């Protein structure tokens, strides 16, 4: 057993990136300032946004609220560093900014002048404010808070919940009895609380008053867990109605994707009304039109499938008539914003290697690409302009402005410019080839830093997770190809069948075919890359993957191991049978096996089960897994390592006791990359056996 300490590897980190010119590495990655969540002011002249900076000594990120003129200028930090502020939203008159920040152990709502000054705590609730949204007139605010359902009838739901939490903390018995699943989700064990939506008003002192429960009777989380936010609820333009989405839990929550849109009076005078009960698939992310006549939202059509296409839908609120706005646009839309004239909707979507921003004509459903050549991670629409947070394979996100049609794109922040000027990165190139079924499949290569024509370089062959996802033109903070290019590796990755951004039929092809169609694409893509790029040394290549990519590492180990000198499998599925009983979100695993449970159709779960091919494993493998990964539990990685050790195959096991499905803490990220890179170098060295 060995412990790898990043501090012992001889690279000192501080608040700035490494000073001397050098190839990009993980130390640069973890110290990059992360720009996100642009929010245009009501007059469209200023944009507020979040910046996450790494406190390496504290092993965490710290967030702050910044502003910058849309016309350009020097960004200004609005909130004090000590506040760890996030989620900035403008007051209706543009005079103030609201945000969330912890205070005395709980997350609370704050207010600060748009030009800075002293922040004022607007809420002092006994529990965390999870998310919030201001009313159009600025007099009210919606807040989400985790409360116990049996406290809903109490005059003070929050006080009742706090009392129960304190009693549990004081109880010397630590056991918990469950009568339904989820017992745990993502990285957290359930404690019986639900996220619920409340409304309150601002008093003369600017602080919130008493809370009214709006989601009474909703047995579900509003917003959803674990990643839900304020995009899942909204005020009507007149402030009289609140719309939200929810999945009713009951006993079926872990195998249901049936979210619905609800409407409830903002004064809590009536129970929520389900507006989309007829659709048993996912309806979510409500956006009322500015004139109050229509409600836009996103909807899937196949129940139980989390990666179905999100179409844009509309409800005429007077008649109740519903229609799909974009039935002929073969892309899955992200969160919506309405144009100033109400004629268009803006949404992002994966599209042929980009995560682009589109405008969709409400009348015709025609989609037009506005901002591409990279990844749009957030955007805000004004009366005559828009602001996007945009990144790509060579640089992290910054803010850019454009007109309402995406024309005249111009960068307005340069947060990592000083660090980037001393960093050398590899050049990416996208390519296509004929894959499974004769379909056109896309991949990309990244040249190693210091690339010289005529030389050959070892290869890191990355298989993405999801599996309904993609390796896109973005600056990723966990699987960034530049971290390998900076170590002297060429990178190859393939967006195989199942990837997003190539049409829903292409995405659908992976379901029920985990070990066939994608593997055909990976084989064909590897062959195409070797033929097209002579600098790839096919005799010194290692394969890497996480989640589904981790499954594919285990599958390739027994079904396509000839090209590889080593393998890195992170949080992968090793035994499909056990996965079906230990994962938390059952809808995913069951859909991927034809909508059947393992006890109904065990043969389906065995068809592409890596555990059945261990006898054919031979390639040295590094296995990485984390204790808090409840999506693909720790035992999957531990079992794979046991198999490797029992077979006598050179292998290592890297375990993180404090990480989930992702490795996100700065020191852990450095350790992950250093361990992985050492493994790759060991087995791709020219004298490696």
**pLDDT above 80: residue 3:** no
What's the pLDDT tens digit per position in 205-244? 999 999 999 999 999 999 999 999 999 999 999 999 999 9
Residue whose C-alpha is closest to residue 548's, from 518, 508, 506: 518
What's the pLDDT tens digit per position in 368-381? 999 999 999 999 99
Residue whose C-alpha is closest to residue 357's, from 389, 324, 326: 389
Burial string for 275-312 (b: 16+ CB within 10 Å, else e) reads bbeebbbbbbbbbbbeeeebbbbbbbebbbbebbbbbb
- Phi, psi (deg, nearest 5) at residue 590: -70, -40
CATH 3.40.50.1820, the chain: domain bounds? 422-684
What's the pLDDT tens digit per position in 559-595? 999 999 999 999 999 999 999 999 999 999 999 999 9
Helix axes 548-559, 517-532, angle to 10 degrees: 80
Helix segments in 332-388, DSSP class H: none
CA distance 624 to 129: 34
On whether the CB atoms of residues 55 and 95 are closer than 8 A, the answer is: no
Coil, helix or strand at residue 645: helix
**pLDDT above 60: residue 449:** yes
pLDDT, residue 19, reads 66
What's the pLDDT tens digit per position in 95-154? 999 999 999 999 999 999 998 899 999 999 999 999 999 999 999 999 999 999 999 988
pLDDT, residue 228, reads 97
Indicate the average pLDDT of the chain: 96
pLDDT, residue 60, reads 96
Categorize the per-residue pLDDT at 86 as very low, low, confident or very high, splitting at 50, 70 and 90: very high
**pLDDT above 70: residue 15:** no
On whether the CB atoms of residues 144 and 196 are closer than 8 A, the answer is: yes
Q: Which CATH number fits domain 422-684: 3.40.50.1820, 3.90.1150.10, 3.40.1390.10, 1.20.1560.10?
A: 3.40.50.1820
Residue range 32-42: average pLDDT? 98
């Amino acid at each position: 057993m060995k412990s790898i300490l990043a501090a012992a590897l001889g690279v000192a980190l501080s608040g700035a990136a490494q000073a001397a010119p050098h190839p990009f590495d993980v130390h640069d990655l973890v110290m990059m300032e992360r720009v996100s969540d642009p929010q245009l002011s009501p007059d469209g002249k200023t944009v507020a946004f979040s910046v996450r900076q790494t406190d390496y000594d504290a092993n965490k990120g710290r967030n702050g609220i910044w502003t910058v003129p849309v016309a350009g200028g020097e960004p200004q930090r609005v909130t004090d560093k000590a506040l760890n502020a996030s989620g900035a939203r403008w007051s209706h008159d543009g005079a103030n900014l609201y945000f969330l920040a912890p205070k005395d152990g709980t997350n609370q709502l704050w207010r600060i002048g748009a030009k800075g000054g002293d922040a004022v705590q607007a809420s002092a609730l006994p529990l965390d404010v999870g998310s919030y949204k201001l009313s159009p007139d600025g007099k009210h605010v919606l807040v989400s808070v985790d409360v116990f359902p049996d406290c809903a009838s109490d005059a003070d739901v929050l006080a009742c919940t706090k009392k129960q939490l304190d009693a549990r903390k004081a109880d010397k018995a630590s056991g918990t009895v469950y009568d339904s699943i989820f017992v745990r989700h993502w990285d957290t064990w359930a404690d019986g609380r639900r996220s619920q939506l409340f409304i309150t008003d601002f008093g003369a002192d600017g602080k919130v008053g008493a809370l009214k429960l709006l989601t009474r009777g909703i047995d579900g989380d509003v917003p959803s867990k674990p990643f839900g936010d304020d995009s899942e609820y909204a005020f009507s333009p007149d402030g009289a109605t609140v719309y939200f989405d929810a999945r009713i839990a009951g006993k079926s929550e872990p195998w249901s994707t049936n979210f619905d849109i609800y409407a409830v009076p903002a004064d809590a005078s009536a129970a929520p009304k389900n507006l989309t009960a007829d659709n048993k698939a996912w309806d979510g992310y409500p956006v009322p039109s500015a004139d109050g006549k229509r409600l836009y939202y996103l909807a899937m059509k196949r129940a139980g499938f989390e990666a179905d296409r999100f179409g844009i839908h509309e409800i005429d609120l007077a008649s109740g008539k519903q229609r799909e706005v974009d039935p002929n646009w073969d892309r899955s839309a992200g969160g919506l914003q309405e144009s100033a004239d109400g004629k268009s909707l803006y949404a992002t979507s994966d599209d042929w290697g980009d995560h682009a921003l589109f405008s969709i004509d409400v009348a015709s459903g025609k989609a037009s690409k506005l901002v591409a050549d990279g990844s749009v991670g957030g955007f805000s629409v004004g009366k005559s302009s828009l602001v996007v947070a945009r990144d790509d394979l060579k640089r992290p996100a910054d803010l850019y402005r454009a007109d309402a049609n995406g024309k005249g794109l111009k960068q307005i922040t340069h947060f990592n410019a000083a660090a980037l000027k001393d960093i050398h990165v590899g050049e990416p190139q996208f390519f296509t080839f004929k894959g499974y079924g004769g379909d056109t499949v896309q991949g990309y290569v990244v040249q190693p830093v210091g690339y010289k024509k005529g030389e050959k370089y070892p290869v890191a062959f990355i298989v993405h997770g999801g599996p309904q996802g993609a390796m896109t033109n973005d600056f990723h903070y966990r699987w960034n190809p530049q971290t390998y290019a900076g170590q002297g590796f060429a990178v190859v990755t393939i967006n195989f069948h199942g990837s997003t951004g190539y049409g829903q039929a292409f995405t659908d092809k992976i379901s029920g075919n985990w070990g066939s169609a994608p593997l055909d694409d990976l084989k064909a893509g590897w062959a195409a890359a070797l033929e097209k790029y002579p600098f790839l040394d096919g005799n010194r290549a290692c394969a890497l993957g996480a989640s589904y990519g981790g499954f594919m590492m285990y599958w390739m180990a027994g079904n396509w191991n000839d090209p590889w000198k080593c393998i890195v499998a992170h949080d992968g599925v090793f035994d499909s049978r056990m996965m079906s009983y230990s994962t938390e979100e059952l809808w995913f695993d069951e859909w991927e096996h034809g909508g059947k449970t393992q006890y109904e159709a065990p043969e389906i779960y065995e068809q592409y089960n890596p555990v059945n091919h261990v006898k054919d494993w031979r390639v040295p493998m590094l296995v990485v897994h984390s204790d808090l990964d409840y999506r693909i539990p720790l035992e999957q990685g531990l079992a794979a390592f046991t198999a490797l050790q029992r077979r006598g195959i050179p292998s290592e096991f890297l375990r993180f006791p404090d990480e989930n499905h992702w490795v996100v803490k700065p020191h852990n990220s450095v350790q992950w990359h250093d361990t992985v890179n050492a493994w790759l170098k060991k087995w791709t060295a020219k004298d490696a056996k």
